[in-house]
Amino acid sequence: MKKTILLLTILSTTPIYANPLFYSDTKNSLGIYISQSSGFGDLGHLISPFEWNISPMSNIMLQYSQPIKILRLPARINLHLLQNIAYHSTSGASFSAVGISWDIALFNWCDWYFGIGIGPYMRDSGDQYVQSRLVFGEKVFIGTQIAKHLNAEIFTLHFSNGDFTDTNRGINYIGFGLNYSF
């Protein structure tokens, strides 16, 4: 038992020298993500079962990243530009934004990684789903290295304002992204 505890202590305090979010000799990454809204996040204010598909929105997100470490884990800091490419204007929902986020790779195995991210975003306008312009994005992603400098990721992303206003039902997205490290 003492050997197991010692081994786990050594492994958990050993610095991670390879960041799975980047190729080993790169310091920058450009990414393009496409996503589709998958519903609204607050079940407490759900009016009808049909409300989940009132306003499907498709977005494209451009991301610039640099590698960092957070709690000695491989991570990246990101700058995002998010733009609607398709939505139903009759619902009053729109989501174009600029923001910063921090992603942490929690698990890395055989060129696959799993992580989480969080960050603030300033959006174009409030609407009936999230009233404020300031929102926070929480992300969960799984990715893999598919070429020497190219990573692919699938993700789910939730935007909410943290109940700063009375209207905060949140918006959820699911999508796919490609990152090129250079």
Write the CATH number of the domain with boundaries 25-181.
2.40.160.20
pLDDT at 3: 75
Mean pLDDT per 10-residue run, the chain (182 residues)?
A: 67 59 87 85 44 65 96 94 74 78 93 95 78 90 94 94 78 93 93
- Determine the Cα angle at 158 with ends 51 and 153, to 5°: 120
pLDDT at 45: 42
Instruction: List the beta bridge partners of residue 137.
Output: 119, 159
- Give the closest residue to 13 by CA, choosing from 71, 68, 67: 71
pLDDT at 15: 47
Q: Could you state, in order of their start, the residue ranges of all structural domains in the chain? A: 25-181
What is the value of pTM for the model shown?
Answer: 0.79
Q: Hunting for tokens 């109940």 — which residue is that? A: 163
Check if the beta carbon of residue 37 is closer than 8 Å to that of residue 55. Answer: yes
pLDDT at 161: 85
CB environment 1-16: b (16+ within 10 A), e (fewer): eeeeeeeeeeeeeeee
- Give the closest residue to 95 by CA, choosing from 141, 145, 55: 55
pLDDT at 125: 75
pLDDT at 35: 93
pLDDT at 50: 46
pLDDT at 1: 74
Q: Which residues are within 8 A (CB) of 62 and not within 5 positions of it... i.e. 6 or more apart?
A: 30, 31, 32, 33, 80, 81
What helix, strand, coil percent values describe the chain, rounded to 5?
A: 15, 55, 30
Separation of alpha carbons 121 and 157, rounded Å: 12
Instruction: List the beta bridge partners of residue 116.
Output: 104, 140
